[in-house]
Every structure is written in C-alpha cells, then in structure tokens.
Amino acid sequence: MDSFFKYLTPAREDEKWGLFLKVAGREVISQKAKYPTNTHPNNYFFIWDNGRVLNEFQINYITKGSGVYEDASGKYAVRQGSILITKPGVWHRYRPDFRTGWTENYIGFDGSIAKALIMNPMFFDNKPIIHIGEREEFVDTYQKLYDYILEEKPGYQQVSAGMIMKLLGYIVSCKKQGSFSGKRIEKIIQEVCFYIRENLEKDLDFKKIADDHNLGYSYFRKMFKKYTGVPPVKYHLDLKLIRAKEMILSSNKIIKEISYDLGFQSIYYFSRAFKNKMGVSPIEIRQCQKSIESEKIRNATYHEKLPLEMEWV
C-alpha cells in the first residue's frame, strides 16, 4: 500500500462516544528523503529544530526502517517493530534514519475514554517507545481502520473506536508478555493455571505448588499476579464462582449442594463471596432465572391460546 492519510472532522455525537478518530495514515519514507513532508496541515507539520505539541493521542507503528524519537524524558532509538506513543500537550519530535528511511502507520485520536485508558499506569509508564516486533495483528488492525475511514460510512467513527480499543489491548498484552516470553516462569504459571481449572473443587495449597516448582512463594505469587492480573488464591476463587454461576443457571441442584461440590466448606462464605463477585446472591440469581423461565412459559401459553387469525396481526 502506498502512502496516504486522511484527516477527519468528528461530529458532536462522535465526541460524546468517548473515543474518536482524528487522523489516520501510512507514510513510506525512502532513503535520504526529506522528513516530515510538506503535505500535512500546520497543526501536524513540524520542523525538527522546533518539534511540535499535539492536542490528541497518536500511536505510530514502524513496520520498516529505523530512526529516533525524542521528548522531554529523553531520546529513544526507533527500529522496525517499534510503537511510538505520543500524548497530547507533550513536546516531541521524531524522524527516520537518513540512511534507511521508514514506513510508519499512524492514528490520532482523542476522547474521555482514550484519556482514561492511556493515562492508566497499567498501559503507559511514561516511556513513549515500546518494541513489539513484527506483529500481523497490528498491521491488520491499522489496515482495517484505513478501510473504514476511506469509505466513511455512517457509524464509521464508532467502529473505528472499537478498532482503536483493540489496538490498545494488543499493546498492553505485548507489554505483559514481554516480561515472561521465553522464561521458565511463564511455562510454570501456564501449567498452574491449567491445574487450577482442572481442580476447582479442591483446596489448593499454593505454597506447596510453588515449592514443587522450586520457587519461593512470594516470587511465585508476584509473578502470577503480574501474568494474570490477580493472585493465585483469587484466580482460583474467581473461577470457582464463575463455575458456581453456571451450575446455578443450568442445573436443578440446590445451592448448598453446589457450594459443597465446589469445595466451599461454608454456605455463608460461599454466598458472601458470590455476591461480592457477581453483585447478587446465589438465591437472587436463581430466582431471576426462574422468573425468566416462567415468563417464557406464560408467553408461550398465551400464544397457543390466541385465535389463529390474531397470530398474524
């Protein structure tokens, strides 16, 4: 695909959506070519000596070549597979290496949801460069965004917002995987997660599990939480509660029996934990299910009693 870009004017309803696209494009900069080109509007164009400040978030993905990115926090090397993340109000500048050029895919976006996501410490640690390598899912997401904005069909901004969310999710996932990829601890955690799913009803001793893998428990717990987002004990509990919900909705077992089947020694503890996780008690969710089923039966009975000629009204 050749170089192209498109600047967008979001409607008021698009801005209210909380995440909206302002610009997207792909730029192929050949060796020894001038950068940036003069084809961009004044609020995007910049001179290297001066740099620039944007009023939106931008995410650039470099799929070929190398270069440099600089902001107030420092100067960073850019290479093939680098993601450049720029926040609004931050002075910055970047350019490809004169000897290599580069190919950059970029989007500019804004909105209340965008601010909440990117300002979250889990996503952004003040380093503007993330090296993710060559990722087909990233290239595919950018390409789909380009397709949507080129057509500009009604609702394209909302679809584009979903694609941006997907891209942000990929970035977070890559950052998390980067701490574990190829390391022994990753395989251990994956094995433990599988073991937990296969033994939900059992009372698991995670200190012993860590010891069996020649790991200190504090280190195991820390890495497990970093990998899954929650400590092993909570991971186990959450899965048990999700299974309990499935059993309540799909079986006729009494709630006390479900509680014991899943290894809860106290129906009181089970009910309290279930409500904390689901927002409603086990009894309430079963009553809700029965109400829905009763309503379906009433509707079906009513329909059967209708005269034939009324069914088509």
Of 295, 296, 274, 299, nearest in space to 285 by CA: 274
Contact 24, 69 (CB under 8 A): no
Give the Cα separation of 53 and 37 in Å (integer).
Answer: 17
Q: Tell me, what's the pLDDT at 311? A: 43
- Chain mean position to CA 208: 33
Q: Tell me, what's the pLDDT at 313? A: 36
* Dihedral sign (CA 129, 133, 135, 140): positive
Q: Can you give the length of the chain in residues?
A: 313
297-301: long-range contacts, CB 8 A cutoff, minimum separation 24: none
pTM of the shown model? 0.66
Q: Looking at the structure, give the CATH architecture of the domain made up of residues 232-313.
A: Orthogonal Bundle (1.10)
- The residue extents of the domains of the chain are 4-178, 181-229, 232-313
Q: Which residues of the chain have pLDDT under 50?
A: 308, 310-313
Q: Tell me, what's the pLDDT at 293? A: 56
Q: Tell me, what's the pLDDT at 71? A: 94
Give the Cα separation of 272 and 247 in Å (integer).
Answer: 17
Q: Tell me, what's the pLDDT at 207? A: 95
Give the Cα separation of 189 and 56 in Å (integer).
Answer: 38
Q: Tell me, what's the pLDDT at 113? A: 93
Q: Tell me, what's the pLDDT at 118? A: 81
The radius of gyration computed from the CA coordinates of the chain, to the nearest angstrom, equals: 27
Q: Tell me, what's the pLDDT at 227? A: 84
HEC profile for the chain? CCCEEEECCCCHHHHHCCCEEEEEEEEEECCCCCCCCCCCCCCCCCCCCCCEECCCEEEEEEEEECEEEEECCEEEEECCCEEEEECCCCEEEEEECCCCCEEEEEEEEECHHHHHHHCCCCCCCCCCEEECCCCHHHHHHHHHHHHHHHHCCCCHHHHHHHHHHHHHHHHHHHHHHHCCCCCHHHHHHHHHHHHHHHCCCCCCCHHHHHHHCCCCHHHHHHHHHHHHCCCHHHHHHHHHHHHHHHHHHHCCCCHHHHHHHCCCCCHHHHHHHHHHHHCCCHHHHHHHHHHHHHHHHHHHHHHHHCCHHHHHC
pLDDT tens, position by position, 204-227: 999 999 999 999 999 999 999 888
Q: Tell me, what's the pLDDT at 256? A: 92
Q: Tell me, what's the pLDDT at 298? A: 57
What dotted CATH number matches 4-178?
2.60.120.280
